[in-house]
C-alpha cells in the first residue's frame, strides 16, 4: 500500500508518504477535485508547527479521547481525505473504542462513496478488525444542511452524542454542533471555521493525532475529561506556537 520512491531516512518521508496515499486514492476515485489543495494547505500549517505534536495539541487529544471513551454513542466520521490518509488508524481507533465509522463526504456521488467504502473494507480485511462501517445506505439527514452532503445514518451520525470529524468542513461542523453533539475536530488550521466552532479541536496532523490516541489506549493511560478545558485557549496556544516557530527560523 505504501511503497513510494523515497528512502524512509529522507527528512520529508512522512510528508511524501501522505502525498503518495492521496495520489493512490485519486486513482481509485476517492477524492474530490479540491482534495490536493486542501492537503497542501494543511501541510503549510504543519510546517509552522514544526511537524510535531505540541503540548496544547496533546492536552486536547487526551480530553478528546476521554470524551469518546465516555460517549454513549461515539461515531468516527470519515471523508475522502481521511480515508486516503488514515484509514488504518481510524479503523484501529474505532475497534479499540467499540464504535462505528461512518463515511460522510461533502461532494457526495455514488461513485466516490463506492470507492471510499471499498477502500475501507479492503483495509479492514487486511487488518483483521471487526468494525461497523456505515455510509452505504443513509436513512437520515443532518438538519440544517441541504443536498447530498446532508445524508447520514440514523444509527450513526444522527444519533451520536460524541463525534470525531477530522478535516471537516465548517458548515457541517456547525450543523453537528447545533444538534447538541460533542464535536471533536482535527485540523491543522487553528483559524478555520471548524476549529473555532468545534467542541474540542486538536491542532495536529491527522495521523499523528490518531496514533497518539491509539497509543494512549494501548498504554492504558488514564483518560479523564478535563473539566477546565478551554478550546479557544487551545487554539490561541497553537497559533502562538506557530508564530514563535516563525520567529526562530
Instruction: Say if 105 falls within a structural domain.
Output: yes
Q: How far apart are CA 204 and CA 201, in angstroms?
A: 9
Residue 92 counted as domain residue: yes
With respect to residue 45, please indicate whether it lies within any of the assigned structural domains. no
φ/ψ bin of 98: left (φ > 0), alpha (ψ from -120 to 50), beta (otherwise): left
3-state DSSP call for residue 139?
Answer: coil
Q: What is the pLDDT, as a whole number, of residue 11?
A: 57
**Count of structural domains within the chain:** 1
Residue 229 lies in a domain: yes
In a domain, 131, yes or no: yes
Q: Which range scores top for mean pLDDT: 25-34, 191-200, 214-223?
A: 191-200
Q: What is the three-class DSSP state of 45?
A: helix
Residue 195 lies in a domain: yes
Residue appearing with cell numbers 490536493 = 36
Residue 10, in any domain of the structure = no
pLDDT digits (tens, 9 = 90+) for 147-174: 888 999 999 999 999 999 998 788 889 9
- Whether residue 99 contacts residue 183, with contact meaning beta carbons closer than 8 Å, is answered with no
Q: What is the pLDDT of residue 92?
A: 98
Domain containing 213 — which CATH number?
3.40.50.12640
Q: What percent of the chain has a predicted confidence (pLDDT) above 90?
A: 66
Evaluate whether residue 149 is within a structural domain: yes
Range of the structural domain that residue 123 is part of: 55-247
What is this structure's pTM? 0.90
What is residue 35's predicted lDDT score, i.e. its pLDDT?
67
Find the mean pLDDT for residues 114-124: 96
Distances, alpha carbon 139 to alpha carbons 100, 108, 157, in Å: 16, 15, 11
Amino acid at each position: 500500500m505504501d511503497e513510494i520512491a523515497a528512502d524512509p531516512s529522507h527528512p520529508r518521508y512522512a510528508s511524501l508518504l501522505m502525498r503518495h496515499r492521496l495520489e493512490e486514492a485519486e486513482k481509485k476515485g476517492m477524492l474530490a477535485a479540491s482534495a490536493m489543495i486542501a492537503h497542501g494547505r494543511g501541510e503549510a500549517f504543519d510546517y509552522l508547527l514544526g511537524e510535531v505534536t505540541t503540548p496544547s495539541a496533546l492536552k486536547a487529544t487526551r480530553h478528546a479521547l476521554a470524551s469518546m471513551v465516555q460517549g454513549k454513542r461515539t461515531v468516527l466520521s470519515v471523508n475522502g481525505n481521511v480515508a486516503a490518509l488514515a484509514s488504518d488508524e481510524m479503523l484501529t481507533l474505532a475497534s479499540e473504542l467499540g464504535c462505528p465509522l461512518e463515511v460522510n463526504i461533502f461532494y457526495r456521488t455514488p461513485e466516490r462513496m463506492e470507492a471510499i467504502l471499498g477502500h475501507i473494507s479492503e483495509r479492514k480485511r487486511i487488518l483483521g478488525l471487526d468494525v461497523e462501517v456505515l455510509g452505504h445506505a443513509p436513512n437520515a439527514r443532518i438538519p440544517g444542511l441541504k443536498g447530498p452532503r446532508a445524508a447520514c445514518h440514523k444509527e450513526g451520525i444522527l444519533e451520536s452524542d460524541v463525534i470525531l470529524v477530522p478535516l471537516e468542513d465548517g458548515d457541517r461542523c456547525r450543523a453537528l454542533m447545533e444538534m447538541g453533539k460533542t464535536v471533536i475536530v482535527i485540523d491543522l488550521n487553528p483559524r478555520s471555521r471548524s476549529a473555532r466552532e468545534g467542541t474540542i479541536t486538536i491542532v495536529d496532523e491527522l495521523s499523528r493525532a490518531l496514533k497518539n490516541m491509539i497509543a494512549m489506549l494501548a498504554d492504558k493511560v488514564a483518560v479523564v475529561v478535563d473539566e477546565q478545558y478551554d478550546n479557544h485557549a487551545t487554539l490561541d496556544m497553537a497559533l502562538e506556537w506557530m508564530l514563535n516557530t516563525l520567529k526562530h527560523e
